[in-house]
Structure 1
Amino acid sequence: MARFKHLARKLRLAAAEKTNKPIPIWVSVKTRMRVRRGFRLRNWRRSKLKNI
């Protein structure tokens, strides 16, 4: 990717970076381990972002 990024693309990448975090521990404790991982977790090699 180019070094210079447009502001809109930079904001979308920052938002994707923030959402790519595991769920808090208290969520799995509260649901008694029914929810184990976040469904939005993404790896930069496995799946790419659309429309960026």
Structure 2
Amino acid sequence: MATGSKKTFGKKKRLAKRRRQNRNMPTWIVLKSNGKVRNSPFSRRHWRSSKLDAS
């Protein structure tokens, strides 16, 4: 998924980081921890429900 071109490079980097953080916890981590670690330390964000403060 690419971002548009009318953004500064710094803003693109911040948006890319937030997009990486919005993933599920990998399955191998859940299995390795016997289900104790299920959620990411960052809460999942839906693109329509809550917006980023991407300044």
Q: Same fold (TM over 0.5)?
A: yes
Structure 2 regions of 5+ residues with no counterpart? Answer: none
4+ residue runs over 2 A deviation = none
Distance 2:9 2:29 in 1: 34
Q: How many residues end up aligned between the 2 structures?
A: 51
Structure 1 regions of 5+ residues with no counterpart? Answer: none
TM-score norm. by structure 1 comes to 0.67
What is the root-mean-square deviation of aligned Cα atoms in Å? 2.1
Per the alignment, residue 21 of structure 2 pairs with: 19
TM-score norm. by structure 2 comes to 0.65
